[in-house]
Structure 1
Amino acid sequence: MNKYHNRYIITGGPGSGKSTLLNKLSEQGYQCFEEISRIVIQEQHQIGGDKVPWQNLSEFAEICYERMSYQLTECKAEGKCFFDRGLPDIIAYVRRGNLTVPLKYFKKSDQYNQTVFLAPPWKEIFINDAERPESFEDAKEISVFLKNTYEELGFTVVELPKYSATERAQFITNYLVADNDL
């Protein structure tokens, strides 16, 4: 068992229900970490900055990398931690932007459990907002980049069913119990 066995990533394209699911897991007492990229985008909008993925992907990725690295240090040794996106998400987004991925992004990607939960594109719940301007077609493409990146990095990708957030949280806890990980 790797020493990061208690750090789980929930990934997926924009608007696939990740944040809502993390809120449910938090309500159940798990330590959960919100999506850094969304926070960075909100901050950039507030200051009129350009460090957003659709204007300055490399700078945006660097900010996310630093903050996500810090999140890892905040995960308590006891109990499970769930992250709304992980460092491999940055790799996938940078690849999708046809940019060179800095080596350091790969080096910390092994600091999570090798099981990753993927929220697939889900048209019925997908919505746009100021931090999520991507189309549903973009969300589907991003999801493919994410899945491929995680698999290339040796993660086991478990696709979440299109259930309510409560049922998805139960799916995860059932999966981890069945996998003797909870």
Structure 2
Amino acid sequence: MNNRFVLISGCSGGGKSTLLTELRARGYPVVEEPGRRIIAEELAAGGGALPWADAAAFLRRAIDLALEDMAMAEIRSGWVFFDRGLVDAASALEASTGEPVLHAICSGHRYHRRVFMTPPWPEIYVTDSERRHGFEAATAEYRRLMETLPMLGYDAVVLPKSSPSARADFVLATLGDDNASTV
């Protein structure tokens, strides 16, 4: 387990990126969501590894990128916050294809034991050119992750529906008892 790598996951459109923007403004390193980066690259290049075109190819790329992100983050010191990551992609690939990748991939590449989850929040949920799925699909994704995380030995900590600043305070206070060094 890498005790310094903190995963922010949960419901699409639940405020993850906004929270991570707040944490970055406070001086913490943040790793951008693999899925959003892949979608931007694929759209720019006219590629097909998109969640609405070829979900399996998209998720395999997201797994590869999440592994690269974790390796590159090793040079950082202190807390490193990840906007989604390996667990999200592997869980989604296994759920959509039945390939038994979740435990095989995630057991050797770990985040901090506490994973912070943005709950479904319909008042702030929006779709855009990169998030084309509806709120019901986002909620199903959240439920799947809430079942998956404990099976992988993580404690899922649900974030309060509050301002980005209050959420960042909550995350940092929750982590406050933990040591940010590599174990």
Give the TM-score of the pair, scaled to structure 1: 0.91
Contact 2:8/2:117, CA 8 A, preserved across alignment:
yes
Say which of 46, 54, 57 aligns to 1:56. 54
What is the percentage of aligned positions where both structures have the same residue?
A: 33
- 1:144-176 deviation digits (Å, cap 9, x = unpaired): 011111111110000000011111000001111
Structure 2 partner of 1:135: 134
Distance 1:115 1:156 in 2: 5
Distance 1:101 1:61 in 2: 14
Distance 1:43 1:57 in 2: 15
Q: Structure 1 5/67 Cα, relative in aligned 2: closer, same or farther at 3 Å?
A: same
State the shift of 1:92 in Å. 2.1
- Count of residues paired in the alignment: 178
CA RMSD of superposed structures (Å): 1.6
Structure 2 partner of 1:83: 82
Distance 2:47 2:178 in 1: 45
Say which of 17, 20, 27 aligns to 1:19. 17
Structure 1 partner of 2:112: 113
Distance 1:21 1:14 in 2: 13
Distance 1:57 1:94 in 2: 8
Structure 2 partner of 1:153: 152
**What residue ranges of structure 2 are gaps of 5+ in the alignment?**
none
Distance 2:158 2:79 in 1: 19
Contact 2:60/2:93, CA 8 A, preserved across alignment:
no
Give the TM-score of the pair, scaled to structure 2: 0.90
| Paired AA for residue 36 in structure 1 | P
- Which 4+ stretches in 1 moved above 6 angstroms? none
- 1:96-130 deviation digits (Å, cap 9, x = unpaired): 32431436533444x21111000011111100001
Contact 2:42/2:50, CA 8 A, preserved across alignment:
yes
Contact 1:24/1:166, CA 8 A, preserved across alignment:
yes
